[in-house]
Chain A
């Protein structure tokens, strides 16, 4: 019977099995996110008090990856699509900034529109093809598309090729160099992160989001009541690609440098780790996961050049001992998890 009924493409077994509807997926998640956002909003004060401007730079970078991880959670956590090429969208967004700046277009709105258009288009084309497959094939094909984007940028010698390209300056807004100030950039990223979180929370609870979640739960059942998963999954894939493109715009500005290294498959893997670490399908988990992952990475790098090994061991332990990631762990600690 299973072979006879069509099961949706890209519904990967395992991803669908995680618990949902726990406390932190609902109102508790909003609370947890509010706390995180509040702490972040106060961080520049701490940075000033401690006279540690680097704190803000680190936090900005973390929030940029949190934004990308958040978008991946829509695909991975809510759509059950294990996309292994998500870093490509960050890279495309970053290169939109680099290429436009190099050609004298420094306005962030123009750059952001170009970044969103380019990453969404790339998501539309690669997603439409990738969603014809499922399971491990979906992972492989998204990986392949990510590598294609990577090698395309490597070959783009006019814009630095392998070495990357330094931006002439940070982006401007209507001609004003507003983002030159690290604190301004910090708050701009925080604002977009909050906006993306709030927007995605609405999306996953909407009609559209309910179809996406239903397909994750049981694609066969969704087809039997009249939903073709493909259109919904593709739409989610494109939305996520566009948001990751925005993350790329900020990453380019934060580093004032863009290189193909932003879009390697290792980067895509790290984004998956952030989402899984934080707890898939919770949104707030993606943010917490990004923060935890990047902090631990920085921290381990202090001790040893072999920090990646340490990170790997930590991850294995986490996966073994905390089902549901950070969000799952918090739920268990607070006893608020529902059956």
Chain B
């Protein structure tokens, strides 16, 4: 764990009018690490994901990925470099097959999409890589189903498969367990355990059990400020964190 960070965030800020949603956030993520970010509702976690993925411009601060300053790059350019995100509210192409959802992500990084005549659905290369991604999340047996007809848990898996198919090295996962039942949660946690072997992950999650099982590093975000960062154990015992966040959880 002495490698240079693959993701480095320094002094990131974002305000909506008078409301500062991201307040001087800095942290590093080393290659292969799973860095969890926890915090109460409205802490600014999703906003932070927007800023890291490039869908939202930051007011100040710097984001570097693999040694390159990507602060000024938009989402499309960041995906090209290997940063992919999932959405808190499931966002898949409901009208397309499961396979095509993943195949489109492969297509995005496999040559030009200004090809007008050959049928895309029959491109073996795209489909093969898409199937690899689906197999990784155990959705390969659902490949021909319409994505809109999947169960909630399956859609959460498909979101992850799409991110994998996009060729990402860094996954930004925004509450992948949101709305998942007990069994689905267990499957997804196991899946993320597996993803840790190959990918660097920033994980936003409310499920503390999952976070403490998975995370190498945990940061706590409260009102846009990172009040603590460290190993799961050290964060858990941090008095500020207990006061600001975990206490609430236990009381709830």
Given contacts A205-B119, A214-B104, 9 further A-B contacts (CB under 8 A): A206-B117, A207-B116, A208-B114, A210-B113, A210-B121, A218-B92, A218-B94, A221-B162, A222-B93
> Can you list, as one digit per residue, whether each of B117-144 has a CB less than 8 Å from chain A (1) or not (0)?
1111101000000000000000000000
B105 at interface (Cβ–Cβ under 8 A)? yes
| A225 engages B120 (CB within 8 Å) | no
| B91 engages A218 (CB within 8 Å) | yes
Instruction: Collect the chain B residues with CB atoms within 8 Å of residue A227's CB.
Output: 76, 108, 113
B4 at interface (Cβ–Cβ under 8 A)? no
Closest to A3 in B: B16
Closest to A212 in B: B113
| A207 engages B79 (CB within 8 Å) | no
Interface range for B: 35 or more
B181 at interface (Cβ–Cβ under 8 A)? no
Instruction: Collect the chain B residues with CB atoms within 8 Å of residue A211's CB.
Output: 104, 107, 113
| B120 engages A210 (CB within 8 Å) | yes
| A4 engages B121 (CB within 8 Å) | no
For the complex, what is the distance from the CA of A223 to the CA of B56, rounded to whole Å?
12
| B91 engages A225 (CB within 8 Å) | no
Instruction: Collect the chain B residues with CB atoms within 8 Å of residue A224's CB.
Output: 53, 55, 75, 79, 84-85, 87, 91
For the complex, what is the distance from the CA of A19 to the CA of B148, rounded to whole Å?
11
Q: How far is the CB of A229 from chain B (nearest CB, A)?
A: 10
Q: How far is the CB of A327 from chain B (nearest CB, A)?
A: 16
B109 at interface (Cβ–Cβ under 8 A)? yes
Tell me if A's interface is mostly helix, strand, loop or mixed: helix
A73 at interface (Cβ–Cβ under 8 A)? no
- A-B pairs with beta carbons under 8 Å apart, 23 shown: A1-B50, A1-B87, A203-B116, A205-B121, A206-B120, A207-B107, A207-B112, A208-B115, A208-B116, A210-B121, A211-B113, A214-B93, A218-B91, A218-B92, A223-B76, A224-B79, A224-B85, A225-B79, A225-B108, A225-B166, A226-B76, A226-B79, A227-B108
Which of B80, B88, B95 is most buried by chain A, counting CB atoms within 10 A of its CB?
B95
A268 at interface (Cβ–Cβ under 8 A)? no
B146 at interface (Cβ–Cβ under 8 A)? yes
For the A-B complex, the count of residue pairs with Cβ-Cβ distances under 8 Å equals 114
Q: How far is the CB of B73 from chain A (nearest CB, A)?
A: 12
Q: How far is the CB of A212 from chain B (nearest CB, A)?
A: 10
Q: Given A1-B88, A214-B93, are A206 and B146 neighbors across the interface (CB < 8 Å)? A: no
For the complex, what is the distance from the CA of A76 to the CA of B114, rounded to whole Å?
19
A228 at interface (Cβ–Cβ under 8 A)? yes
Those of A181-210 within 8 Å (CB) of chain B: 202-203, 205-210
Which of A210, A214, A220, A235 is most buried by chain B, counting CB atoms within 10 A of its CB?
A210
| B104 engages A225 (CB within 8 Å) | yes
| B94 engages A1 (CB within 8 Å) | no
Closest to B94 in A: A217
Closest to B81 in A: A226
Those of B161-202 within 8 Å (CB) of chain A: 162, 165-166
For the complex, what is the distance from the CA of A202 to the CA of B116, rounded to whole Å?
7
For the complex, what is the distance from the CA of A19 to the CA of B146, rounded to whole Å?
12
A103 at interface (Cβ–Cβ under 8 A)? no
B46 at interface (Cβ–Cβ under 8 A)? yes
Q: How far is the CB of B49 from chain A (nearest CB, A)?
A: 9
Instruction: Collect the chain A residues with CB atoms within 8 Å of residue B100's CB.
Output: 210
| A205 engages B95 (CB within 8 Å) | no
The one of A205, A221, A232 in contact with B91, judged by C-beta atoms closer than 8 angstroms, is A221
| B92 engages A223 (CB within 8 Å) | no
Instruction: Collect the chain A residues with CB atoms within 8 Å of residue B80's CB.
Output: 226
Instruction: Collect the chain B residues with CB atoms within 8 Å of residue A228's CB.
Output: 76
B149 at interface (Cβ–Cβ under 8 A)? yes
Instruction: Collect the chain A residues with CB atoms within 8 Å of residue B75's CB.
Output: 6, 223-224, 226
Those of B57-92 within 8 Å (CB) of chain A: 75-76, 79-80, 84-85, 87-89, 91-92
| A217 engages B85 (CB within 8 Å) | no
Q: Given A205-B121, A226-B80, A235-B114, are A210 and B107 neighbors across the interface (CB < 8 Å)? A: yes
| B84 engages A21 (CB within 8 Å) | no
B47 at interface (Cβ–Cβ under 8 A)? yes
| A206 engages B109 (CB within 8 Å) | no
